[in-house]
């Protein structure tokens, strides 16, 4: 029962909170750069404004273009329900393990890239090709690094990995976890299109990856994409927090109170990670596009070493 309630709570918290997370991150950046900033609620205001606009699509685009935002938002919501953020006993956990989550994330990215290709513009194609370059190294890294953690738990279900960590918190201080944490942090940054891989706040053609793919979208479609990107960011940050710092997560058969505590813990943890990420972004420059595969190959190697180390140092 708590599992169902927890899963619903997760979807609500992620759905409502992720634009706020983006707002907080922009506000932190603005303050550190000496600007006043638009306020934490600005992403929600933007979404409301976009939702009211007339849905238009460029001439010549087909159903792929129109379906892409829906698929992206849908997969983000399903992942938010499955990943252990508030409760480890999600009712979907049995059918959706680590491989399913990674596949769902990849499905969303591929849908968006196909939508960008469907417009037939130069920018769309460029953005899609860059996104695929990044994706090709990001997805295996997520798989391999979480797989390294799953060896200890003896199961690829994310819920049981987190439960194992909750039961033995000191096991986080091992080379396997450290290597996997670094790898997963790097791919989280790459997957969500933050500095140093992609700059979320420019329209400069040299730098954009995500922006180039969504240039042709307008109105409610754009709102869906922005919302889904925010949800992916908060789900991945939440996954990072749950896997390596599972303090406060409600395990199976916990009461309603535990769920409330878990929600607060989740908000605090993800908020802290978001602030940390945006502070890091202020002090960093974007990498050249040709250096990005180097960074991602590095994180893939770390993930692979994490798996190797979990066999070496068993």
Partner 1 sequence: MTDAMYIQLLDLACGAFLLTGVLVLWRRDLSAIVWLFALQGVALTAMVIVLGVRQDDLELILIGLGVGALRAALLPYLMRRALVASGEARETQPLVNVATSLLVAAVLAMLAYAVSQPLVRLSPTPATQAVPVALTVLLIGFFVLVTRRRALSQLVGFLLMDNAITATAFLTTSGVPLVVELGISLDVLLAVLVLQVLTTRMRAAFGGTDLDELRELHD
Binding site for partner 1 (CB under 8 A): 170, 173-176, 178-179, 293-294, 297-298, 300-302, 304-305, 308-309, 311-314
Least gap, CB of 138 to partner 1 (angstroms): 14
- Shortest distance in whole angstroms from residue 186 CB to partner 1: 11
C-beta neighbour count of 122 within 10 angstroms: 10
Identity of the residue, 25 or 304, whose beta carbon is nearer to partner 1 in the bound complex: 304
| Three-class DSSP labels, 159-196 | HHHHHHHHHCHHHHCCHHHHHHHHHHHHHHHHHCCCCC
Cβ closest to partner 1, residue 167 vs residue 294 = 294
Q: How far is the CB of 153 from partner 1 (least distance, A)?
A: 17
Q: How does 13-51 read in b/e, with b if 16+ C-beta sit within 10 Å? A: bbbebbbbbbbbbbbbbbeeeeeeeeebebbbebbeebe
CA-to-CA dists, residue 66 to 1, 60, 138, 215, 252, angstroms: 37, 12, 26, 14, 40
Q: How far is the CB of 249 from partner 1 (least distance, A)?
A: 23
Q: Report in angstroms how near the CB of residue 286 gets to partner 1 at its nearest.
A: 18
DSSP 255: -
State the nearest-atom distance from the C-beta of 312 to partner 1, in Å.
Answer: 5
- Closest-CA residue to 183 (of 14, 305, 278, 8): 305
* Helix, strand or coil, per DSSP, at residue 216: coil
Tell me if 119 sits within 8 A of 65, measured CB to CB: yes
CB of 300 to partner 1, least distance (A): 7
User: Buried b vs exposed e over 232-260: b needs ≥16 C-beta within 10 Å?
Assistant: bbbbbbbbbbbbbbbebbbbeebeeebbe
Closest CB to partner 1 among residues 158, 179: 179
Closer of 80 and 183 to partner 1 (Cβ): 183
CA 306, CA 300: separation in Å to the nearest integer?
10
3-state secondary structure of 280: helix
Min. distance of Cβ 145 from partner 1 in angstroms?
A: 13
Q: Is-contact 68 222, C-beta < 8 A?
A: no
CB of 180 to partner 1, least distance (A): 11
Closest to partner 1 by CB, 129 or 174: 174
Q: Which of residues 170 and 206 has its CB atom nearest to partner 1 in the complex?
A: 170
> Cβ closer to partner 1: 83 or 304?
304
Separation CA 300–CA 289 (nearest Å): 17
- Between residues 45 and 291, which has the closer beta carbon with respect to partner 1? 291
Task: Return the number of the residue (168 or 253) whose C-beta is nearest partner 1.
Answer: 168
Q: How many CB atoms lie within 10 A of CB 284?
A: 12
């Amino acid at each position: 029962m708590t599992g169902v309630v927890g899963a619903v709570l997760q979807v609500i918290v992620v759905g409502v909170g992720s634009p706020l997370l983006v707002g907080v991150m922009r506000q932190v950046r603005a303050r550190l750069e000496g600007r006043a900033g638009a306020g934490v609620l600005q992403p929600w205001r933007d979404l409301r404004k976009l939702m009211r606009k007339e849905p238009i699509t460029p001439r010549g685009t087909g159903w792929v273009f129109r379906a892409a935002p829906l698929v992206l938002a849908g997969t983000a919501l399903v992942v938010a329900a499955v990943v252990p953020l508030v409760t480890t006993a999600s009712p979907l956990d049995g059918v959706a393990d680590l491989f399913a989550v990674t596949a769902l994330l990849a499905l969303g990215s591929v849908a968006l890239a196909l939508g960008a290709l469907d417009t037939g513009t130069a920018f769309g194609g460029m953005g899609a090709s860059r996104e695929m370059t990044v994706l090709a190294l990001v997805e295996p890294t997520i798989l391999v690094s979480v797989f390294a953690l799953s060896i200890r738990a003896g199961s690829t279900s994310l819920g049981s990995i987190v439960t194992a960590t909750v039961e033995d918190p000191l096991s986080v201080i091992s080379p396997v976890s450290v290597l996997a944490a670094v790898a997963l942090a790097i791919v989280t940054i790459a997957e969500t299109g933050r500095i140093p891989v992609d700059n979320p706040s420019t329209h400069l053609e040299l730098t954009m990856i995500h922006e180039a793919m969504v240039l042709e979208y307008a109105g409610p479609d754009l709102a869906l994409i922005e919302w889904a990107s925010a949800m992916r960011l908060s789900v991945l940050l939440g996954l990072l927090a749950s896997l390596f710092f599972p303090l406060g997560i409600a395990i199976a058969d916990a009461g309603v109170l535990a769920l409330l505590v878990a929600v607060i813990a989740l908000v605090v943890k993800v908020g802290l990670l978001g602030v940390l990420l945006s502070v890091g972004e202020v002090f960093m420059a974007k990498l050249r596009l040709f250096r990005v595969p180097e960074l991602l190959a590095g994180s893939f190697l770390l993930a692979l070493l994490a798996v190797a180390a979990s066999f070496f140092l068993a």
